Amino acid sequence: MAAAERRRRALITGITGQDGSYLSELLITKGYDVHGIIRRASMFNTGRIEHLYRDPHDPEARLFGHYGDMTDGTALRRIIEAVEPDEIYNLAAQSHVRVSFDEPEYTADVVAMGALRLLECLRDYVARTGRDVRMYQAGSSEMFGDAPPRQSEATPFQPRSPYATAKVAAHEHARNYREAYGLFVANGILFNHESPRRGETFVTRKITRAVGRIREGLQDKLYLGNLDARRDWGFAGDYVDAMWRMLQHDTPDDFVVATGRSYSVRDFLEAAFEQAGLDWQDYVEFDERYLRPTEVDHLEGDAAKAKDKLGWTAATDFKTLVAMMAEADHELARRERTLIDAGHGEGLTALNG
Ligand code: NAP
Ligand code: G4F
């Protein structure tokens, strides 16, 4: 292909995750070639992006995978050299807060050191080629921790988990590389965002999976931890658009992305069970395994800056999000039921997390 016809090229770390899949869809729609870093696993981990994949020999192919890992700086460097991206989205993470208390070193390695490794690759690549390459760093509202709501870009971080401290480190590395080397690195500070593709051990999806399975007689109890925590839950499909907008902005900056409304885990439970005509109190039991050594009580974001500078607002409200997830998980449970009725196995194993 002649240089003039070269499509814009994005490189996504964490492409196999929830956000990676929605972002890939968005970028392909916008005419990008999308390259993603996939970590080697003993089973396929590409379920969320399979619908976008075509054989790379197919001229219509827009999605390309590269084996790599955030703990392997040499591989990251090689991939950037080979892909020659215009935009890099750093979404890879051990992203489960509770798990970060069990695996703090690994979490810090992937999240904090991983971001630093990527920034080092970017620094050298830009110095060598002189190209304008822009990077998005996936920061989190968890970084605010104990800070009272509503939290904005001006709120000081008070992280409460190894995951959150690692995200703060990554955020600060990104700011430092922006200032020290003039790199275009944007920090997103995204509040919780969910979807039918959300990992099944995060509380929203754990709840909607359970509701679907209870309706189909596949599960009778749901074990949860703290129901009082409040979160500002939005739809992942809306939030990846904010990531892209940050990289189209004239200057690299930090942006909070949120709906501006918060609900408790109990509110989410009520809404999801109500959707199925069930009373959550008949099914939910407490298990202290799901408590965290330090909890984040209340996250509620002020996304005025994103609205003002990026023209971004959350399009999906809480009720619509719960209904979307509950419906998708009811359909999934119906399929499990059909398979079981046809004698094909026992369905999924018990859900944890
Ligand atoms: P996710 O579904 O957990 O996806 C994480 C991705 O990172 C997956 O593709 C995973 O690969 C990959 N990954 C994990 N360890 C890796 C490693 N060592 N090397 C390379 N890749 C690795 O997370 P998400 O919800 O899409 O979130 C995307 C990013 O935004 C994360 O950085 C998360 O911390 C951050 N964030 C999320 C939220 C939210 O509410 N969803 C809010 C704020 C910030 P596998 O598929 O192989 O596991
Ligand atoms: O769904 P969660 O595990 O999400 P959490 O901890 O807020 O983290 C998510 O959002 C962050 C953005 O703020 C991301 F950066 C991070 O990567 C991740 O995507 O838990 C939400 C709340 C917590 O207060 C937790 O204690 O739900 C409470 N909870 C109660 N029972 C539970 C459970 N959480 C989980 N995962 N499982 C339970 O059984």
pTM exceeds 0.85, yes or no: yes
Cis bond before residue 337 (omega within 30° of 0): no
Is 203-229+262-293+318-352 in the same CATH topology as 7-196+231-257? Answer: no
Predicted pLDDT of residue 344: 85
pLDDT of 351 over the 50 cut = no
Tokens representing 132? 């304008």
- Determine the topology of domain 7-196+231-257 in CATH: Rossmann fold (3.40.50)
**What is the position in ligand 2's atom list of the atom closest to the CA of 204?**
1
- Ligand 1: which residue has its CA nearest to atom 41? 193
Say if ligand 2 is within 6 A of residue 203 CB. yes
How many A from CA of 268 to the centre of ligand 1?
23
Q: Is 336 considered catalytic here?
A: no
Q: Is 142 considered catalytic here?
A: yes
Q: Where are the domains of the chain?
A: 7-196+231-257, 203-229+262-293+318-352
Predicted pLDDT of residue 5: 81
* Residues 6+ positions from 97 with CB-CB distance below 8 Å: 142, 161, 163, 164, 292, 296
* Residues 6+ positions from 324 with CB-CB distance below 8 Å: 195, 196, 235, 316
Q: Which of 95, 100, 140, 141 is catalytic?
A: 140
Predicted pLDDT of residue 346: 61
Cα–Cα distance for residue pair 127/232, rounded to 1 Å:
40
Q: Which of 142, 194, 300, 336 is catalytic?
A: 142
* Residues 6+ positions from 198 with CB-CB distance below 8 Å: 18, 204, 205, 236, 325
Predicted pLDDT of residue 350: 45
Cα–Cα distance for residue pair 145/336, rounded to 1 Å:
38
Question: What would the pLDDT profile of 145-164 be if each residue is shown by its tens digit?
Answer: 999 999 999 999 999 999 99
Q: Which of 22, 32, 163, 177 is catalytic?
A: 163
Question: What would the pLDDT profile of 168-223 be if each residue is shown by its tens digit?
Answer: 999 999 999 999 999 999 999 999 999 999 999 999 999 999 999 999 999 999 99
Percentage above 70 pLDDT, the chain: 96
How many A from CA of 313 to the centre of ligand 2?
23
Closest of 193, 206, 177 to residue 283, by C-alpha = 206
**What is the position in ligand 2's atom list of the atom closest to the CA of 95?**
17
Tokens representing 227? 């129901």
Q: Is 140 considered catalytic here?
A: yes
Mean pLDDT of 288-305: 98
Neighbours of 58 (CB within 10 A): 9
Tokens representing 4? 């003039």
Mean pLDDT of 29-50: 97
Q: Given ligand 2 and candidates 193, 203, 232, which is best to mutate, with the most ligand atoms within 8 Å of its CB? A: 203
Q: How far is CA 1 from CA 6, 79, 143, 183, in A?
A: 7, 20, 43, 28
pLDDT of 236 over the 80 cut = yes
Tell me 94's DSSP state: -
Cα–Cα distance for residue pair 186/253, rounded to 1 Å:
5
How many A from CA of 202 to the centre of ligand 2?
6
C-alpha of 227 from chain center: 22
One-character DSSP codes across 120-157: HHHHHHHHHH----EEEEEEEGGGGTTSPSSB-TTSPP
Class in CATH terms, 203-229+262-293+318-352: alpha beta
Say if ligand 2 is within 6 A of residue 111 CB. no
